[in-house]
Amino acid sequence: MLAGKNITLGITGGIAVYKAAQLTSNLKAGGADVRVIMTRSASAFVSPLTFQTLSGNRVYSELFEPVMEWKVQHIELAAISDLLVVVPATANILGKVAGGIADDLLSTVIMATTCPVLFCPAMNVHMYQNPVVQRNLTVLKDLGYHFAGPGKGRLACGAEGPGRLAELDVIMEKIQALLPSKGDLRGLSILVTAGPTREPIDPVRYLTNRSSGKMGYALAGAAAKRGASVILISGPTNLQVPHGVEMRYVETAAEMFNEVMEYFPRVDIVIKAAAVADYKPREVSGQKIKKTGANLVIECDKNPDILAELGRRKAHQTLVGFAAETSNLEDNAHQKVRNKNLDLLVANDVTLPGAGFEADTNIVKLVYPGQYVLPLPIMDKTALAHRILDEVLKLRSNGQ
């Protein structure tokens, strides 16, 4: 999976440095060429020799070393990296990058690189919750830097809360998701739906739900990155259009139905991550409904079930649905697979912390026809999107 990939690890000074040593070993075992940059304080926790031995490469630390190589180090390291992972990322390095400071080798390489940069923060809970650190995280996220964690739990300083380095498998999944595309979806056309629908009540009010669109946009972005031609049909969200994706915006379930049916005959795969309103108000008032002394009753009609209709019309397409459940997840999921004629259902219990609506992560079970169920661990939505696409490819190679 990682063969031929150049991964640069930036190690900064925190107790979680010892876990970065294991990550170095895992990346190397996966076939990556790993280069390590250590800050001075990182070297106070673990000797550079450890990383040199595990990576099989010399460890870089000083910006202005006596000339050992002809090439300018920070430019060379920045240019050859497919991915730069800062692990652990202290409040100090986050602050420096957010503030545009490049005063040592690591911060200079981060400034000079054009590859994706993944920060894996780890620090004391109060440092993490400090508004300055929170502001820096927001700045960095807005600038397109990527994050894994931090996780929650008992910290080395004895405190409890957010600030632990993310688990290594979470970091590995994120690394895989951020590495350049395998191109394995080239030649395939994929329709993804995302976000909520809005069903108008009057000119100022509507019925909707809590979908942010993150899950569907992650799927569309991941599929485009892997070479698919992607159409994303989205309800209202605040998200950026993923690179390389053809966008269609809709508001109501009826509008989503029409767009989806128009594209359906031309696509190979449909993934329905949208949270479509099951009901819409029977009457849409042309004027704002005025408050009176009486209660207001809004009578609703059923919306068309888009996915069930796709299941009826399905010919050569692979059909993937989502299910947002709050109880009896597996029973409900099996029923949806049967009733909607699906090849795969991604079922999430939206009551779990870190799952479902609005979160950056999700916890799902993959449910197949014939009652087979594959539970997945909590995953970042981008990593999960890649996992779902891997499953879709497997299904297609088995003729589904």
Q: How many helices (H) and strands (E) does the chain have?
A: 14, 22
AA letter at 200: P
- The single residue among 2, 7, 253, 267 that binds ligand PMT, judged by CB under 6 A, is 253
Element (H, E) at 7: strand 6-11
* Burial category of 95 from C-beta neighbours within 10 Å (exposed 0-12, middle 13-18, buried 19 and up): middle
Task: Provide, rounded to whole angstroms, the least separation between the CB of residue 345 and ligand PMT.
Answer: 8
211 binds ligand PMT (CB under 6 A): yes
- The single residue among 212, 252, 318, 361 that binds ligand PMT, judged by CB under 6 A, is 212
CA-CA distance, 55 to 88, in Å (whole number)? Answer: 17
Binding marks (x or -) toward ligand PMT, 169..208, rule CB under 6 A? ----------------------------------------
- The single residue among 258, 278, 352, 369 that binds ligand PMT, judged by CB under 6 A, is 278
387 binds ligand PMT (CB under 6 A): no
Task: Provide, rounded to whole angstroms, the least separation between the CB of residue 59 and ligand PMT.
Answer: 39
- The single residue among 10, 213, 221, 235 that binds ligand PMT, judged by CB under 6 A, is 213
Task: Provide, rounded to whole angstroms, the least separation between the CB of residue 332 and ligand PMT.
Answer: 7
120 belongs to the catalytic site: no
Task: Provide, rounded to whole angstroms, the least separation between the CB of residue 178 and ligand PMT.
Answer: 19
The total of other beta-carbon atoms located within 10 Å of residue 60's CB is 22
Query: What is the Rg, in whole angstroms, of the alpha carbon atoms belonging to the chain?
Result: 24
- The single residue among 182, 285, 341, 357 that binds ligand PMT, judged by CB under 6 A, is 357
323 binds ligand PMT (CB under 6 A): yes
DSSP per position, 339-381 = HTT-SEEEEEETTSTTSSSS-SEE-EEEE-TTS-EEE---EEH
344 binds ligand PMT (CB under 6 A): no
CA-CA distance, 396 to 261, in Å (whole number)? Answer: 22
Q: E strands within 217-297? A: 229-234, 245-249, 269-272, 279-281
Q: How far is CA 252 from the centre of its chain?
A: 26
Check if the beta carbon of residue 335 is closer than 8 Å to that of residue 317.
no
Site for ligand PMT in 291-310 (CB under 6 A): 303, 305-307
Task: Point out which residues bind ligand PMT (CB under 6 A).
Answer: 211-215, 253, 272-276, 278, 303, 305-307, 321-324, 336, 348, 350, 356-358, 362
By annotation, the residues acting in catalysis are 157
